[in-house]
Amino acid sequence: MRAQRILAAAVVITAFVATGCGGREGGGTESTGGEGGGESSVSSSFGDLSEVCTDGSASGASAQGVTDSEIKVGTFSDVGFTKVSEFGDAAKVFTSWCNDNGGINGRTLTATVRDTKFMAVRQEMTKACKEDFALVGGGAALDALGTKERLTCLLPNFPAQTSQVAELDSDLIVQASPSQTFGYMPYYQFRYWLVQEAYPDSANAVGIINADSPVSKVLGDMQLESTEAAGGTFVYNDLYPASGVSDWTPYAQSIKDKGVKGLIFYGQYSQLAKLESVLTGMNYKLDWIDANNNAYGEKFIPLLGPSADYQNNVVDLGGVLPLESDAEAMEQLKELYAKYAPGAEITMPAVRAFSAWLLFAKSAVSCGDDLTRSCVYDTATQESEWTAGGLQAAQNLAPDAAPSPCFNVEKATGDGWVAADFQPDDGAFRCDIPVKEMADTARYGSGMTLSDVGLSMGDVK
C-alpha cells in the first residue's frame, strides 16, 4: 500500500467503469524464466545476501507447481489494462538471473504473469490455484476480489504491493518490502516530520484532495487519521471526479481561499500536475505538496513544468532506497536489468517486487528438496531484519509484527528527484519517530483469514 501505483490504477478503473466503457483485450498469461543451470557472468549474491539462487540436485514433486526440474509461480499484474509491465519485467529479470545461477537448488524457476486486467482478479486466481506453487512479486488494484479463492486453495502470496484491506491484512501473505501494516497509521513518521519539524507553519492549514474512487477514499481516510495524529489540522477536504478534471481552477481557488499550506493529493499524478499549473499561475505557493509516491519516477517532473521548481513536491518512499541511489544493492539491480531486460524501466514498485523475489528464493533454497508451501512461508516469516540485500530498511516479517518506523523523503526539482532534508539517522533512512497504532480499524474493514474459509494454518502443507 505504500507504493501508490495501485492507487492510480484503481482511480483509472473507477473512471473507466463510470464512463460505461468495455474491457480491453490483451494480456492473458505469459511465462518467463530461463532454462536454469546455466553459467552467469553476474554473481549469485545480491548486496549482502550470498548465493540467493544455487545449483543442486533437488528432486521430487513436493507440492503443486514443484517437480524434479521446475518450480512454477504466478505474478499478478494489471498490465493488460495499464500497459505498465513493471511486475513482469521484474519477474523476467529475477528468474533469468536466478536460473543462470542454478535456480532453486537446481530446479528452474518459472513465473507466469497473470494479467488481471483490473476486473479479472478472481479468474486469474482460479488459474493460479490450479497451477502455481505460490504468488510472487505482483499486485492488482482490486486484489481483494481473489483473496477468498487464494485462501481456499492455500496459496501463499509474496506480493510487491497490496491495495485492499481484505488482502492486505489476510493470512498466508508475506510483504517483503516496507509497506502498510494494517492497524498502524500509514505515513505517520512522514506526516510528523512535515507538520512538526520541516514546515510547522503548515500544521494548522493542511488540505487533502482525493479521487472519488472506493479504494482511494479508504486510503484518504487513513491519511486524515494519520495526519491529525501527527499534529495536523485540516482546513480543506475535497474529492475530484476519478475520470479527471478539465479545469482545475475552482479547486485551486478553494485551496487558496482556505489558506492551505500543506496539500495531500491522492489520484493520478497527471491530474496533480494540472492542478499545480493553475496554482502556480495564481502565484500561490504551498509549503509542501505530498504527491504520493505514485508520482515518484521519470514522468512526473516533465508534466510539472515550471511548478517543479516553484512548488515543493515531496514523497515518502517508506524505507526503500531511491532509484538514484548509488548504494551497492541498487547498482547491482541496475546491472541485472541492463543484462536481462535492457530498456525496461526500473520503478519503485519494481524494486519492491525484487525484494519479494529475493525473499521467496532465499526461503525456498533453505527448504531444500522438500519444498512445501508451509516451509517457504514459515521460513520467510522468520526474517526479523529483512533488507533485501540492502535495498530497503530492515523489516520484521513475522505475522502481526509492527512495521518499521523508517522513512525517507524525495523532493521533485526541475533537474530531477533529490533527497529532501529529512535528517536521516540510519544510512539512507530516518528511523527515530515511533510507529503509531490506529485508533479504530473497524471503519476500514478487516482482512480475510483462513478460518473465514473453514481452514487453518494446520491445513497448509
Whole-angstrom Cα distance, residue 287 to residue 314?
A: 10
Please list the alpha-helical segments (H only) found in 65-120.
79-82, 86-100
Whole-angstrom Cα distance, residue 64 to residue 67?
A: 8
- The three cell numbers locating residue 403: 512495521
109, 51 contact by CB (below 8 A): no
Whole-angstrom Cα distance, residue 233 to residue 332?
A: 43
177, 395 contact by CB (below 8 A): yes
Q: What are the pLDDT tens digits along the chain (461 aa)? A: 444 444 554 544 433 333 233 232 233 456 776 444 445 567 899 999 999 999 999 999 999 999 999 999 999 999 998 899 999 999 999 999 999 999 999 999 999 999 999 999 999 999 999 999 999 999 998 999 999 999 999 999 999 999 888 999 999 999 999 777 888 999 999 999 999 999 999 999 999 999 897 777 778 888 999 999 999 999 999 999 988 999 999 999 999 999 999 999 988 899 999 999 999 999 999 999 999 888 999 899 999 999 999 999 999 999 999 999 999 999 999 999 999 999 999 999 999 999 999 999 999 999 999 999 999 999 999 999 999 999 999 999 999 899 999 999 999 999 999 999 999 999 999 999 999 999 888 788 889 999 999 999 999 99
Tell me the C-alpha to C-alpha distance, in Å, between residue 184 and each of 79, 260, 283, 405.
Answer: 30, 27, 37, 10
Question: What Rg value do the Cα atoms of the chain yield, rounded?
Answer: 22
Domains of the chain in sequence order: 5-182+324-402+448-459 (3.40.50.2300), 188-321+404-444 (3.40.50.2300)
- The three cell numbers locating residue 352: 519492491
Whole-angstrom Cα distance, residue 356 to residue 371?
A: 18
Whole-angstrom Cα distance, residue 144 to residue 157?
A: 12
| Strand partners of residue 67 | none
- pTM score: 0.92
Q: Residue 214: its pLDDT value, please?
A: 73
Helix (H, G, I), strand (E, B) or coil at 107: strand
Q: Residue 40: its pLDDT value, please?
A: 53
Whole-angstrom Cα distance, residue 175 to residue 380?
A: 10
Q: What are phi and psi of 272, to 5 degrees?
A: -60, -40
| Helix, strand, coil share of the chain (percent; to 5) | 40, 15, 45
Helix (H, G, I), strand (E, B) or coil at 298: coil
- The three cell numbers locating residue 161: 504491493
275, 252 contact by CB (below 8 A): yes
139, 86 contact by CB (below 8 A): no
**Greatest CA separation for the chain:** 70
Q: Residue 216: its pLDDT value, please?
A: 75
Question: Would you give the end-to-end CA distance of the chain in angstroms?
Answer: 29
Residue for grid cell 519503485: 348
The H or E element containing residue 274 is helix 269-281
Q: Which residues in 54-166 belong to E strands, given as ranges?
A: 70-77, 108-115, 134-136, 157-158
Whole-angstrom Cα distance, residue 419 to residue 414?
A: 14
Q: Residue 22: its pLDDT value, please?
A: 29
Dihedral sign (CA 288, 294, 298, 302): negative
Helix (H, G, I), strand (E, B) or coil at 410: strand
Q: Residue 33: its pLDDT value, please?
A: 65
Q: Which residues in 123-244 belong to E strands, given as ranges?
A: 134-136, 157-158, 206-211, 234-240
Q: Residue 29: its pLDDT value, please?
A: 59
Query: Which residue, 313, 269, 318, 321, is CA-closest to 295?
Result: 269
Q: Residue 293: its pLDDT value, please?
A: 87
Residue for grid cell 481561499: 257
| Strand partners of residue 73 | 111, 134
Q: Residue 30: its pLDDT value, please?
A: 65
